Structure 1
Amino acid sequence: MADHGRYHGLALELLTSALGSIGSRLIRLVLLLAAVAAASFALMAASPVDPVDAYVGGDIAAIGPEQRAQIAERWGLNDPPLERFGTWLANIARGDLGYSHTFNQPVADVIAGKFLTSLALMAVAWSLSGLIGFTLGVVAGVRRGRWADRVITWWAYTLSSAPTFWVGLLLLYAFSVSLQWTPICCAVPVGSIAGEVGLLDRLHHLLLPALTLSLVGIAPVTLHTRQAVAVAMASDYIAFARAQGERTFGLVLHHVLRNAAGPAVLLQFSSLGELFGGSVLAEQVFSYPGLGAATTAAALGQDVPLLLAIALFTTVFVYVGNQLGDLVHAWLDPRTHRAEVTA
């Protein structure tokens, strides 16, 4: 009976701790969204580009003052900034993200459709950069100071200083223009209906943009993993295992990989913001119709509702990714979780 009560108390304590942690994370997310919303709206309000002029474009002389005033009135541009901000927040609270004049669709529909296209691109690039970067980092750390380490480290430093836009242009010229192995643009063949395109064609168009994103993301994972592996290989417990006759492969498999995986996973999840920023450039190079390309189009057209919604969506996306990274890191290295609880 006493054991039952003790287990019940322990389960209740764990549940209370989990709920408290979730509540704390949600409060931080709400505060972060409020700060991002205020900062984004202030930047939009202070922009020197007039949204009506950007919307009309080259036909600005074709409309009269009355038509221009009607557009401004419809978008609420004549209201004071604080009043517009309050109206926008009230609409957000009701689930109304506004209407995109760039795509002539509700903002929620634009983000949902474009994000699904970008999700495949970012997921493939994120997975490739993590797997390749971790593998190269382990090899470089185990072979520290040798030729393999020098080559991998030089390659990682070169990639870390290479802009995504430049890497994309080089790959586009090499594989699409010169070798003609990959398509030049788009997510599906030109002139095809997206719903009628098969999986192989989609992967064919996805390959080069995903490779561009993954190449830039490989470098930090490689360098951090190399350092973690090198520290682990120089530790006392590795020296003791060597003295017991264990070979290098067994040392890496049983003692090093788990220790090195924690920092790599945390870094990989925390790079989601950079991944999204890189997708904006990659999608422009390859004319890939994802959320990154939509962000660029919204910025050029001063599509304020869409830009603000993308800012909030990206904040949630990156925040959730970071929290997942913390959880996976705590699972791989329980000492991190215990240290946080003690602190």
Structure 2
Amino acid sequence: MDSQACYSILKYVGKSLIKVISLLIAVSILSFILVSTSPVDPVRAYVGEVGMVNMNAESLARLEAYFGLNTPPAERYWNWFSDFVRGDMGLSLVYRQPVDEVIGVKFMNSLLLMLTAWFFSGILGFILGIIAGLYRGTWIDNLIKGYSLLIASTPTFWLALVLLMVFSVWLQLFPIGLSVPIGMKASEVTILDSIKHLVLPALTLSVIGVANIALHTREKMIDIMVEDYILFARARGKTRFSIIRHHALRNIMLPAITLQFASISEIFGGSVLVEQVFSYPGLGQAAVAAGLSGDAPLLLSIAVISAALVFTGNLIANLLYGFIDPRIRRGNMHG
């Protein structure tokens, strides 16, 4: 690779990073505005109703000053943003711990859940889309298409409740909720225990995430199978597997990768509902608790981190395109 190509790649990556950083700043500002206009009083949420009754005016004023309620919104945002950049995310009102410690624990739980669902939904959706496209118009195609359309219109929380009722309550094959057995020390929890608690939440997210990838891969597969080079390969007596491997795979991988990385936002949004149904102690459940309690430091940090996760996924997808198809790389570099 010559110096001009390296420069073009670095320039493209630099522009993408600047765009991601700009979007994150915009997300932080919008989130701060929404949190600031929330009717939830952070002081009341922090001390509780009984505490508000027994609190004197001096203590109330100190708490309002601590939460910055007496300072202008712009100054309050800048104070939070500058602390956040330095790594100080503040103190969580709900968990009574530093926000970075809360997010560190919750994020690892959510990351395991989302990565598992993201991986299996992508693989399964890709395979089902290929099969449906190959057998277009047959009962196999109708079955996969019908399944995908049905799942795409199914609410995530409803599917989670159904799986919980069937596999946990009726069949008693999996735990009802949480990420570890109740009353067990952390040192006593085995990998098998963690997997048992992970199966149903991950299965819910995986099933929901299959639909879009399967349907789009099917359409792309149908378009490719009528191309001249595919018809020529068939005339030469090549098998379907050989045609897919040598001719179709590269073309159908591009839209699949696009949707796979774009589905990060969908999986994260679904994880919020899934974690609530299964009482799974992840980032989504922490976000709900922070929103209901007016925990601005935790809610703002979760909003920025989740946005960074989504934007990073899209950035990785854009960079991967160039490695899969050089034509896209050249278009991006000169765009």
Bin for the TM-score computed over the shorter chain: over 0.9
Q: Aligned-pair RMSD on alpha carbons?
A: 1.5
**Does the CA-based 8 Å contact 1:281-1:292 persist in structure 2?**
yes
Residue 31 (structure 1) aligns with: 22
> What is the alpha-carbon distance in structure 2 between the residues aligned to residue 81 and residue 281 of structure 1?
31
Residue 138 (structure 2) aligns with: 146
Q: Percent identity?
A: 47
CA offsets, 1:257-305, max 9 Å, x none?
2211111011101111111111111000000001111111111111001
Number of residue-to-residue matches in the alignment: 334
**Does the CA-based 8 Å contact 2:89-2:99 persist in structure 1?**
yes
Residue 63 (structure 1) aligns with: 54
**Does the CA-based 8 Å contact 1:175-1:182 persist in structure 2?**
yes
**Does the CA-based 8 Å contact 1:263-1:329 persist in structure 2?**
no
Q: Which amino acid aligns with 1:308?
A: L
Aligned: 1:258 with 2:250: yes
**Does the CA-based 8 Å contact 2:12-2:332 persist in structure 1?**
no
Residue 320 (structure 1) aligns with: 312
Residue 6 (structure 1) aligns with: none
Structure 2 stretches lacking a partner, 5+ long: none
**Does the CA-based 8 Å contact 1:51-1:301 persist in structure 2?**
yes
Higher mean C-alpha deviation, range 270-279 or range 210-219: 270-279
Q: Which amino acid aligns with 2:272?
A: V
Deviation at 1:177, TM superposition (A): 0.4
Of residues 174, 186, 198, the one that matches 1:194 is: 186
Q: Which amino acid aligns with 1:170?
A: V
> What is the alpha-carbon distance in structure 1 between the residues aligned to residue 229 and residue 260 of structure 2?
27
Q: Which amino acid aligns with 1:13?
A: Q
Q: Which amino acid aligns with 1:28?
A: K
Higher mean C-alpha deviation, range 73-82 or range 119-128: 73-82
Residue 271 (structure 1) aligns with: 263
Residue 5 (structure 2) aligns with: 14
CA offsets, 1:140-183, max 9 Å, x none?
00011111000100100111111111110010001000100010
Deviation at 1:206, TM superposition (A): 0.3
**Does the CA-based 8 Å contact 1:188-1:197 persist in structure 2?**
yes
Alignment of 1:292-311 (within 5 A): 292-311=284-303
> What is the alpha-carbon distance in structure 1 between the residues aligned to residue 9 and residue 333 of structure 2?
12
> What is the alpha-carbon distance in structure 2 between the residues aligned to residue 11 and residue 331 of structure 1?
16
CA offsets, 1:47-99, max 9 Å, x none?
12212223334435543342433322221112121221121122123221111
Larger relative contact order, structure 1 or 2 (CA cutoff 8 Å, min sep 6): 2
> What is the alpha-carbon distance in structure 1 between the residues aligned to residue 74 and residue 318 of structure 2?
37
TM-score, length basis structure 2: 0.95
Q: Which amino acid aligns with 2:204?
A: T
Deviation at 1:137, TM superposition (A): 0.4
> What is the alpha-carbon distance in structure 1 between the residues aligned to residue 77 and residue 331 of structure 2?
42
Deviation at 1:335, TM superposition (A): 2.5
Of residues 127, 135, 151, the one that matches 2:127 is: 135
Aligned: 1:230 with 2:222: yes
> What is the alpha-carbon distance in structure 1 between the residues aligned to residue 229 and residue 114 of structure 2?
38
> What is the alpha-carbon distance in structure 1 between the residues aligned to residue 322 and residue 10 of structure 2?
17
TM-score, length basis structure 1: 0.93
Q: Secondary structure at the match of 1:95?
A: coil
Structure 1 stretches lacking a partner, 5+ long: 1-9
Aligned: 1:174 with 2:182: no
Q: Secondary structure at the match of 1:228?
A: helix
